[in-house]
Structure 1
Amino acid sequence: MKLSASQAVDVLRAAGEPTRLRILALLAREELAVLELGRVLDQSQPRVSRHLKLLAEAGLVERFPDGAWVFYRLTGAGQAGELVVETLARINPADPALARDAERLTAVRAERADAAGEYFARNAARWDEIRSLYVAEGDVEDAILEAAGPGPFRRLVDLGSGTGRMLTLLGPKADAALGLDLSQQMLNIARSHVTGAGLQRCELRHGDIFGTRLPDGSADLVVVHQVLHYLADPAAAVEEAARIVGQGGRLIIVDFAPHTLEFLREQHQHRRLGFSEPEIARWLGEAGLSKVKATSLPPAQAQGLTVKIWTAERARQPQRSAA
């Protein structure tokens, strides 16, 4: 449905202010918290919040609380969102104000990456121990094995492989396996674990979950295990993971349900405090996957974390009959 004239005026009025246009350009790059937007724009949190309120009322951005933080992203669909995307595409990216914002955002990203890198390097050796504090890993792994199915798998891809636990768990069912991670310390530990497990056809690479450089549909099992909550753009990671799932293949996402344990953000570099079922299901559907299923594994203690396991599949295309 097309916008009415009054709706178009509301959209243009909301976007037609310098700071708000800068905000839209930043959110076109990734979802951001209010505090991060304030740093990039060099404006106070109340002032940025007022601009965001106007953009949200016009249907141009989505607001979603995450613990004590509030994140914003561009509206994913609809005529208003399309108008914003078209407007941003017509702006010269070398515009001084937008270029300066892009530089500041790069600096914010670099600070995030440095903090995460230091954290992962510091905790690599005891990574599995840290995870075990939150949930019974044995129960989670049994559920992952069930979600994956009996196999065998032609090719397994583990994105953000960490210490390689998913590779040693699922690798025996795969003809070939590949693990990608940005942390060299994690990769070194994963190599040791993979070798110890006797996996011969398992490759470990330094790689980015946002740009794996793997061919479309090249795996029949893709796993993203306890990775999304560290990422600035988890939806983009889901899209990339889904892209490499072949026909009849399956994607497994393991992460936390929404929670309020802020210390995980402060002490353990968690960017998002869990994900809801509708949010993940929407991302999987937009990525072209179907048969979405969610399994919940509640914690043994009241203040623990609920682990969620999502599975989705890429449908097989019907074969054309010979003429």
Structure 2
Amino acid sequence: MPAPAPVSLSAMLTTLKAAGEETRLRILALLTEGELNVSDLTDILAQSQPRISRHLRLLTEAGLIERQREGAWAFFRLADHSAGAVAVRDLVSRLDVQDTQLQADRERLQAVRRARADAAQAHFSLVAGHWDAMRSLHVPEEAVEGAIHEALASLRFNAVLDLGTGTGRMLQLIAAQAERAVGVDANHGMLAVARANLERAGLSQVQLRQGDIHALPVERNAFDLVVIHQVLHYLDDPARAIREATAALAPGGRLLIVDFAAHELEFLREKHAHRRLGFTYEQMTGWLEDAGLDVVSHRDLTPPNPAADQLTVSLYLARDRRIITDTIPDQPLHAIA
């Protein structure tokens, strides 16, 4: 790992001034555990909302933390790239974990997370029937996840982006292979479910953002893996979503799409809001190629009894063309029934 870049005298003074106050230092320590919103911090620190907001504003202006809007809420996390970000992470890492005040803060953080998980579970129970009905229509999730693992097992990623993250399951599968992971979903309730699931899995550092898949709230040319898992069939214009996902890819980055093969189950439009009845190989590869990607592998997971109105799940792994050479071989194109 390269040595941290030197920090100027003025930048270090800004960092120390911002961090050098008890409440702000406690906030920084809490944010090493993951993203938190103003309400979380007022509950944990037992301070008023205006006071907490003022501390957060000062830390944000100093570049030590970042603010991410999610509907009417805003979540805060430690900054990744500012001049003082490395210095403040080192500073916080030197705090005594046995400190009485910091221990109490962590205990209240766990209580807040338990309450958040309970609320998320209540929301998920409202839509669980839909998820169960869909799972019964295609090959087991274990088989799909196994195929995803095979497609990506040999790879490491600097940054992963999961679009339509839902429960956060794809992030749980892939986060261990990535230095950084971000999930985007338009539904605030599902983000709450994802956040609770990720915290339960010990992945509280994964970032979640609310946003439109057609206008992503992320950096361009920044991710070396983008995942779109069981999302495109809900969209009127899947090709547009693929183009937007491609814009987020770094040169040579990979796009993994998991969705249904073309089928004729019309009731999915009426009962489950599907806009598209799956996709043919020609449709999907055409969209990928038009977006500037080369399809490097394709796999079909066919249910054991396709005659019983069950669906085939297709996996496509495509790669951005903006690279000449790479030492990591891609898997050959294949199809498995």
Give TM class, smaller chain.
Answer: 0.5 to 0.7
Output the amino acid matched with 1:310. Y
Deviations 1:294-315 (A, max 9, x none): 2100012222000000110013
Deviations 1:206-260 (A, max 9, x none): 1110000322221011000000000011110011111111122110001101111
Mapping for residues 127-276 of structure 1, pairs under 5 Å: 128-135=131-138, 136-276=140-280
Whether contact under 8 Å (2:233, 2:278) holds in the other structure is yes
Mapping for residues 82-161 of structure 1, pairs under 5 Å: 123-126=126-129, 128-135=131-138, 136-161=140-165
Output the amino acid matched with 2:236. A
* Distance change (3 Å), C-alpha of 1:148 and 1:131: farther
Whether contact under 8 Å (1:127, 1:163) holds in the other structure is no
Asked if residue 315 in structure 1 is aligned to residue 331 in structure 2, the reply is: no
In structure 2, what is the equivalent of residue 18 of structure 1? none
Whether contact under 8 Å (2:289, 2:295) holds in the other structure is no
Give the whole-Å Cα distance in 2 for the aligned partners of 1:193 and 1:121. Answer: 11
- SS class of match (1:246): strand
Aligned equivalent of 2:311, options 296, 299, 305: 305
* Distance change (3 Å), C-alpha of 1:261 and 1:166: same
- SS class of match (1:275): coil
- SS class of match (1:205): strand
Whether contact under 8 Å (1:148, 1:252) holds in the other structure is no
Output the amino acid matched with 1:244. A
1:123 Cα deviation (Å)? 4.7
Unaligned runs of 5+ in 1: 1-119
1:130 Cα deviation (Å)? 3.6
- SS class of match (1:264): helix
Give the whole-Å Cα distance in 1 for the aligned partners of 2:124 and 2:233. Answer: 18
- TM-score normalised according to structure 1 size: 0.58
* Distance change (3 Å), C-alpha of 1:221 and 1:203: same
* Distance change (3 Å), C-alpha of 1:130 and 1:175: farther
Give the whole-Å Cα distance in 1 for the aligned partners of 2:277 and 2:125. Answer: 22
Output the amino acid matched with 2:127. A
In structure 1, what is the equivalent of residue 113 of structure 2? none
Give the whole-Å Cα distance in 1 for the aligned partners of 2:128 and 2:158. Answer: 31
1:153 Cα deviation (Å)? 1.1
Give the whole-Å Cα distance in 2 for the aligned partners of 1:255 and 1:123. Answer: 24
CA RMSD across the alignment: 1.9
Output the amino acid matched with 1:184. H
Output the amino acid matched with 2:279. F
Give the whole-Å Cα distance in 1 for the aligned partners of 2:128 and 2:311. Answer: 22
Deviations 1:146-198 (A, max 9, x none): 22242321111000001111011111211111111111111111111111111
- TM-score normalised according to structure 2 size: 0.56
Give the whole-Å Cα distance in 2 for the aligned partners of 1:177 and 1:126. Answer: 29
Unaligned runs of 5+ in 2: 1-122, 326-337
Give the whole-Å Cα distance in 1 for the aligned partners of 2:153 and 2:322. Answer: 17
Output the amino acid matched with 1:267. K
Give the whole-Å Cα distance in 2 for the aligned partners of 1:277 and 1:123. Answer: 34
Give the whole-Å Cα distance in 1 for the aligned partners of 2:213 and 2:292. Answer: 18
Whether contact under 8 Å (2:130, 2:272) holds in the other structure is no
Deviations 1:80-131 (A, max 9, x none): xxxxxxxxxxxxxxxxxxxxxxxxxxxxxxxxxxxxxxxx988534565344
- SS class of match (1:291): strand
In structure 1, what is the equivalent of residue 285 of structure 2? 281
Whether contact under 8 Å (1:252, 1:311) holds in the other structure is yes
Output the amino acid matched with 1:253. I
* Distance change (3 Å), C-alpha of 1:192 and 1:127: farther
Whether contact under 8 Å (2:161, 2:225) holds in the other structure is yes
Give the whole-Å Cα distance in 1 for the aligned partners of 2:276 and 2:321. Answer: 30
Whether contact under 8 Å (2:195, 2:204) holds in the other structure is no
Give the whole-Å Cα distance in 1 for the aligned partners of 2:134 and 2:263. Answer: 16
Give the whole-Å Cα distance in 2 for the aligned partners of 1:212 and 1:132. Answer: 28
Output the amino acid matched with 2:190. M
* Distance change (3 Å), C-alpha of 1:247 and 1:290: same
Output the amino acid matched with 1:124. V
